[in-house]
Amino acid sequence: MITFTLNGKDVQAEEGEFLLQVANKSGIHIPTLCHHKALEPAGMCRLCTVELFDGRRTRFVTACNYPVWEGMEVNTESDAVHQVRKLIVELLFARCPNVPVIKDLASKYGIEEPRFKKKDDDCILCGLCVRICERMGNSAISLTGRGVDIKVDTPFHEQTEVCRACGACAFICPTGHIKLEDITKHIIKSIPSEYDMGLKGRKPIYVPYPQAIPNTPAIDRERCVHFKTGGCKVCTEFCGVNAIDHSQEDETIELNVGSIILAPGFKPFDPSKFDTYNYSKHPNIITSMEFERILSASGPTMGHLVRLSDHKEPKKIAWLQCVGSRDINRCDHGFCSSVCCMYAIKEAVISKEHAGSDLDCAIFFMDMRTHGKDFERYYENAKEKHGVRFIRSRVHTIDPVDGSDDVTIKYADENGNFAEETFDMAVLSVGMETPPELVEFAGKLKIALTEGDFCQTDSFHPVATSRKGIYVCGALAGPKDIPQSIIEASSAASEAGALLSGARNTLTKTKKVPEERNIIGERPRIGVFVCQCGINIGGVVDVPAVRDYAASLPYVEYVTDNLYSCSQDTQEAMTQVISGNNLNRIVVAACTPKTHEPLFQETLTNAGLNKYLFEMTNIRNQNSWVHKDTPEMATEKAKDLVRMAVAKVALMEPLKEAEVDVDQKALVIGGGISGMAAAKSLSNQGYEVCLVEQSGSLGGQALNLFKTWKGEDVQYNLAKLIKSVESDPKIDVRLNTHLENVEGFVGNFKTTLRSDGKDQEVEHGIAVVATGGDEFKSDEYLYGKDPRVLTHLELDRRLINKDASLKKTHTAVFIQCVGSREPERPYCSRVCCTHSIENALHLKEINPEMNVYVLYRDIRTYGEREYLYRKARQAGIIFIRFSLDQKPQIKNGQDQLEIEVVDHILGRPVMLKADLVSLATGIVPYRDEKLAQFFKIPLNEDGFFVEAHVKLGPSEFATDGVFLCGMAHYPKPIDESVAQAQAAASRAVTLLAKKKVQVSGTTAQVNPISCSSCGVCVEICIYSAPSFVEEGPFEGRAEINPVLCKGCGLCVASCRSGALNLKGFGEDQIMAMINQI
C-alpha cells in the first residue's frame, strides 16, 4: 500500500492507482470532462488539474492520469488550483459558449462572459469518442488535423462503412457534438424491450423485467458489441464483483424427475397479418398487451395514458374484440380466448379512471363473455357507472384519417344501421395461441393436442396429458384467466404429488435463518424504507422529500427509498442493511400490508430480527391513489403516516408465535364430483379422509348429467369415481350425515357429525367445503305447469334413459339465462350455454330432421367450447338472440307450445311452435349459513362462498385450514370442478404434510386481575377465541386461545374494564401514533 497526503490528510492507495481514483474513493470531487472509467486516462481536458508538492517544489498535474507515489502531497482545493481550473473553463466557454455542460461549469466558476474571442463550436476535443470507438474494436473516427484545425472526423471526411452505428461515441460525448449521420449511413436502432411489447428500447445488458427471479442482468449475445467485434467489454470495468463472464456458454443440465408439469404459457396473437386493421402501419392502432404496458406504472409512459404518435391524451378509444379468436377464415383460430372480454372492460374502466369521465370508451363485440365470478357485475358496472359503451358489431376495417393521427371505424350496429366513428386510438383485443415451438415440443414429449393446438385432457382428469406422469396447467391446457390458471397449477401439483407421495420429504432441506437477536433493553435503531412503487406512489408523492423527512425523526438511524421495495434485490439489500447497521426495528412505507406484510416480515427473519419488530404504513392505497390530484397534500400526508409508524414501531417488542400439532386427517363436506375428487386426491397422497354427504348417495348433481362438453359419458365416469371412493380404505364415507357442530382451529378441528339421530365426533387437521349447488326452479315459461317444459337436468335425465319420445320430437326450443343475469341473480351460471348446445346436438343426433332453436342473450362457449358452437350452427341449429327487456313469451297452443320472440335481425316477433322446451336455468348455491358460521367462512351476496383471494387464493378461505372447491365457490363444469377439488387438496396438503404449524403472534391477551367476567368478549368474538377459565385462581375470568384468535381487536375494543390488550397494538403504541397527528 502507498501512503500519501491528500488535502492535509493521510490516505492509502494501491500501487498503480491514479489520483482521481483515490480522490473519488475518499469522497473528494475533482471535475473532469474527458475521463471515463472504462477508458485509459488521457488528461485531454486538463480540468482535473491538482497541485502536487514533491518535497522540493509545487507543480500542477492532471489527476486522471497521474499515478500515486509514496509521500507525495496533493491539494485539490487550493486557490491556485481554483484559478487554473477557472482559466480552463473560460477557454472552454469561449470555444463552446452554447454547450449546457460548459455553461454550467462557467456559472459555477463565476464566469459570465469569456475574455477570449468566442468560437461557436460544440466539441471540446476531449477524445472520449475516439477512445471509445477504439475500445469498440472499430476505430471509425479519429482526431485529424493540427493546431487550431484539429477535429474529430472520419477518413476523408466521408461517411464510413467501418462504423457499426453502435452509438457509443454519441453516448459518451459530454457536449452532444457527435452526430451519427455525419459518420455513417447506418441508422442506430433501439433494441425493442420484450417486456414493454417493443414500445420502448432496452440495452444489450438488461434485466428481462422488473422483479425478475433471479433479478440479475443478462447479456444479449446478438446485440452485444463484444460478441460482434471482440472489442468493448466496458461492462467489466463497472462490475465491482467481477460477475461478468463473456466466455460463458449455454449448459445442458440433466435432471432425474418423477413427474413433469408443463406451464409454458401462451403467445399473444400477432394482428399484423390482418391488413384491414392497419396495425403495423399506424402508431395509434395497438394491441391490448401494448395498451396494458401503457397503463402500467412501470411501462414506457409510466402509467400516463397517451397515444404513441404524439403523446397526447386520447379523448376517444375503441376496443375491437375477438382479434385472433373465433376466426377460422383469417387465422384458423376457431376457439375463444376466454379472457379478452374481461380485460377489455378492465382496460376501459381503468382508462376512464386515469383520464377522467370525459374519455369516451367503446367496445365492439360479438358476444360479451363475462362468465366468471362477479364478472357480470363488473360488466354492468362498466356500463352503468363508468359509461363504457358496448357496441355489438364485428369490425372488419380500421382506416387511418388523412391529415391526422386519428382512425375511423365503419360498422353496422345490431339493428343493421350503418355507422361511422372517428377515434384517437384503437385497441385490438388479441387472443391466445400456442406458439409453433410449443407444438413441436409437445410432439417430442409425445403428448396429444387438440384441434386448437392445446393439450388434450379429459374432464375427469383435467390436468393429465395423454402421457402418464406429465401434467399441464395454464393456457397450454386451453385459454383461461389467472384464477383458473392458479387452480390448475395447484391441481397439477396435487396430481404430481400423488404420483410421488412415496418420496415425500426425502429431498427436502430445512431453510437456515440466522438466530434471532435479543434486542430487549436496546435503544431503538429504526430503519425506514420508502417505496416509489413505480409511479403508483412516486408519481404523486415526493418520495425523496418523505425519505429526507424520515431521517429527522427520533431513533431513525437509516433511511432510503426504492423503486420497488418488494422486489427480490431490494429484499436482499434490506437484509444486508438491517444487519450492517444493527437496526432493531423497521418501517416500510409502501402499499398494503394485507398482501405485502408477510414478505417484509420474512426479510426481518432473514436478517435475524423478530418479524414483529416491524410496521408497514400504506402510502399508496390510503394516500397516493386517493389524493392523486393533490400531490403536495399527499406528500404531507405521507410524512404524517411515516411519523406515526416510527412512533409506534419504537415501542414494539418481540412477539412469539405458538406452535400447534397437526392432525393429519381431512374432512371433506359434500359427496358430489368435487367432494369425491378432493377426497380421492387427498387419499392418493397418503392422508385419511372423512367424506360427509347429507343425502343417501354419492354423486350430487352429476347423477343427472348426460355427457360432458367433450363428449365423455358422465354416468360411466361417475360410477367409476364412486366405486373408487367407496373402495378406498383411506376414505371413510358418511352418507345421510350432516354437521352439527365444529370446534377447534387449523390442524386441530373437532367436528360433530349427526346421522340417524346419533352424534359422533371426528378429529381432523383441515376441511374442504364442496357443498355444491342446485338447479334454479323457475316459475317462468310455464315450467311446472306443462310437462313439455323441462329444465336442463330433466332433459339430461331423459337422454340418460334414452327416452323414445325424443325421437318423435319435431321442434325443440332452448331458452337461455333463465334465472341468471337478472337483478335477483346478477351473475352468469357459466355452464348453461355449453350445456344447451350439447343437448341441442344430442337431439339432432337422435332425430336429424328435428328443428332446434336456441334463444339466447350472449353465447358464452368460452375456450375450445367454441368449436361446439360452430358445430351446432353447421348442424342447422338456429340461434336467435333476445334482450332482457324483450324475453320470449310462451303459451300453450292447441297441439304445441307457442313461443314468441323478437328476432333482432328481422326486427319483428317470430312465432315458434315447439314440442319440447328446455330451460337453461341458472345454478343457485346451497346458502349454508350454518356451515359458514361453523368455520367462520363468508358468503357473498349471491350465497356462494368467498375465497381468500380472487386470483391468488381461489381454492382456500381466509380461515386457516379450510379450503373450497366446486359449485360452492361458483358455477362451473365438471372439468373445472375436478381441477379445483384437486387444487383444494393440494393446498390442504401444504398443512397436512407438516407435523406442526405456527400461528400469528398478533393475538389478544387478558389481564385476569382486571377482568370483570362480564362475558362481552366471549359473546362478541366470531372466532370463539375467548372463553372462561374453568378452574384455578382465575376461575370465571376470560382467557384467549391464541390459535383461534385472528388479532382483529374486536374484543379489546369491547372490553369495558380494560383487561384485554392486543399484542403489537398496545394502548401506548396506539396513543403514540395519535399523538403524532
CATH number at residue 1023: 3.30.70.20
Measure CA 132 to chain center: 42
Calculate mean pLDDT across residues 426-443. 97
**pLDDT at residue 962 above 90?**
yes
Report the pLDDT value the prediction gives residue 239, as an integer from 0 to 100. 82
- One domain for residues 422 and 397: yes
Residue 458: what pLDDT? 96
Residue 213 pLDDT greater than 80, yes or no: no
The answer to whether 962 touches 1046, Cβ cutoff 8 Å, is no
The pLDDT score that the predictor gives to residue 515 is: 93
pLDDT at 1012: 94
Both 382 and 275 in one domain: the answer is yes
pLDDT in tens, 667-720: 999 999 999 999 999 999 999 999 999 999 999 999 999 999 999 999 999 999
Does 917 share its domain with 949? no
Say whether pLDDT at 360 is over 90: yes
Within a domain: residue 707? yes
pLDDT higher than threshold 80 for residue 553: yes
Answer yes or no: are the C-beta atoms of 881 and 856 closer than 8 Å.
yes
What pLDDT does residue 505 have?
84
The β-bridge partners of 1033 are none
Q: What is the strand order of the sheet 526-531 is part of? A: 556-562, 526-531, 585-590, 614-618
The pLDDT, as a whole number, for residue 713 is: 98
Residue type, 1011: C
Residue 214 above 80 pLDDT? no
The reported pLDDT for the residue numbered 240 is 75
Instruction: Read off the CATH number of the domain in which 301 is found.
Output: 3.50.50.60
Q: Which of 123, 208, 135 is nearest to 166 (CA)?
A: 135
- Torsions phi, psi for 50 (to 5 deg): -130, 170
Q: Which of the listed residues 183, 211, 228 is the one where a domain comes to its end?
A: 183
The verdict on 412 and 315 lying in the same domain is: yes
- Strands (DSSP E) along 857-914, which ranges? 878-881, 889-892, 897-903, 908-914
Position 506 scores a pLDDT of 86
Residue 763 has pLDDT above 90, yes or no: yes
Strands 1004-1006 and 1060-1062: antiparallel
pLDDT in tens, 52-67: 998 889 999 999 999 9
At 91-112, the pLDDT tens digits run 999 999 999 999 999 999 999 9
Q: Mention every residue, 6+ apart, whose C-beta is less than 8 A from residue 837.
A: 854, 859, 861, 868, 869, 872, 877
Domain boundary among 614, 649, 684: 649
Cβ atoms of residues 237 and 36 within 8 Å? no
Q: Is residue 980 a contact partner of residue 491, using CB atoms and an 8 Å limit?
A: yes
pLDDT of 297: 80
Q: For position 606, what pLDDT does the model report?
A: 94
DSSP 822: B
- CA–CA gap between residue 165 and residue 140 (Å, rounded): 10
Q: Give the pLDDT band (50/70/90) at residue 628.
A: confident
Give me the DSSP letters along 406-449.
-EEEEEE-TTS-EEEEEESEEEEEE-EE--HHHHHHHHHHT--B
Boundary residue ending a domain (598, 616, 649): 649
Q: How many domains does the chain have?
A: 8
Predicted pLDDT at 804: 95
∠ CA 418-278-393, nearest 5°, is 30
Quote the cell numbers at residue 164.
457499426
Mark 416-440 as b/e (b = at least 16 C-beta within 10 Å).
eeeeebebbbbbbbbbbbbeeebee
489: in domain: no
Query: For residue 670, is it within any domain?
Result: yes
Exposure letters 682-701 (e unless 16+ CB within 10 A, then b): bbbbbbbbbbbbbeeebbbb
Q: What is the pLDDT of residue 66?
A: 96
Given a cut of 90, is residue 149 above it in pLDDT? no
Examine residue 258 and state whether it is found in any structural domain, yes or no.
Answer: no
641 and 695 part of one domain: no
- Among all chains, which residue has been given the C-alpha cell 492532471? 62
What pLDDT, on a 0 to 100 scale, did the predictor assign at position 323?
A: 97
Asked which of 205-219, 579-593, 635-649 is least confident by mean pLDDT, the reply is 205-219
Taking only the tens place, the pLDDT of each residue in 1047-1067 is: 999 999 999 999 999 999 999
* Res 241 pLDDT > 80: no
What is the model's pLDDT at position 534? 78
The whole-number pLDDT of residue 509 equals: 85
Query: How far from 716 is each of 334, 460, 463, 794, 918, CA to CA, in Å?
Result: 30, 11, 20, 18, 24
Binned at pLDDT 50, 70 and 90, residue 1022 comes out as: confident
Q: How many other CB atoms are found less than 10 A from the CB of residue 786?
A: 14
Q: Is residue 1051 part of a domain?
A: yes
Q: Report the percent of the chain where pLDDT is more than 90.
A: 85
User: Rounded distance, CA 664 to CA 573, Å?
Assistant: 39
Mean pLDDT across the chain: 94
Question: Of the segments 133-142, 495-504, 534-543, 679-688, which one has the largest average pLDDT value?
Answer: 679-688
What's the CATH code of the domain at 89?
3.10.20.740
Q: Is the CB of residue 290 less than 8 Å from the CB of residue 268? A: no
C-alpha cell at 242: 467481477
Cβ atoms within 10 Å of 86's Cβ, excluding its own: 16
3-state secondary structure of 679: helix
Residue 63 domain-assigned (yes or no): yes
Average pLDDT over residues 997-1001: 89
Q: Is the pLDDT of residue 383 over 80?
A: yes
Cell triple for residue 697?
348417495
What pLDDT score was predicted for residue 1015? 93
- Compute the distance between CA of residue 1050 and CA of residue 936 in angstroms, rounded to an integer: 15
Which CATH number do you get for residue 622? 3.40.50
pLDDT band (50, 70, 90) for residue 1044: confident
Joined grid coordinates for residue 244: 461478468
Q: How far apart are CA 767 and CA 670, in angstroms?
A: 11
Residue 1023 has pLDDT above 90, yes or no: no
Specify whether 991 is located in the same domain as 930. yes
The pLDDT of 902-916, averaged and rounded, is 92
pLDDT tens digits along 777-835? 999 999 999 999 999 999 999 999 999 999 999 999 999 999 999 999 999 999 999 99
Is 443 contained in some domain? Answer: no
Please indicate, yes or no, whether residues 670 and 753 belong to a single structural domain of this protein. yes
Check whether the bond before 214 is cis (ω within 30° of 0).
yes
375 pLDDT above the threshold of 80? yes
Same domain for 763 and 713: yes
Side chain identity, residue 687: Y
d(CA 1018, CA 1026): 5
Q: Residue 855's domain spans which residues? A: 776-922
Q: Which amino acid is at 516?
A: E
Q: How far apart are CA 1026 and CA 1051, in angstroms?
A: 8
Cα 589 to Cα 617: distance, rounded to the nearest angstrom: 5
473 found inside a domain: no
What pLDDT does 599 receive?
93
For 1006, the 3-state DSSP assignment is: strand
Q: Are residues 93 and 49 in the same domain?
A: yes
> If residue 638 lies in a helix (H) or strand (E), which one and from where to where?
helix 631-649
What's the pLDDT band for 998 if we cut at 50, 70, 90?
confident
Instruction: Examine the domain organization and report whether 272 and 311 are in the same domain.
Output: yes
Q: Are residues 950 and 835 in the same domain?
A: no
Same domain, 836 and 904: yes
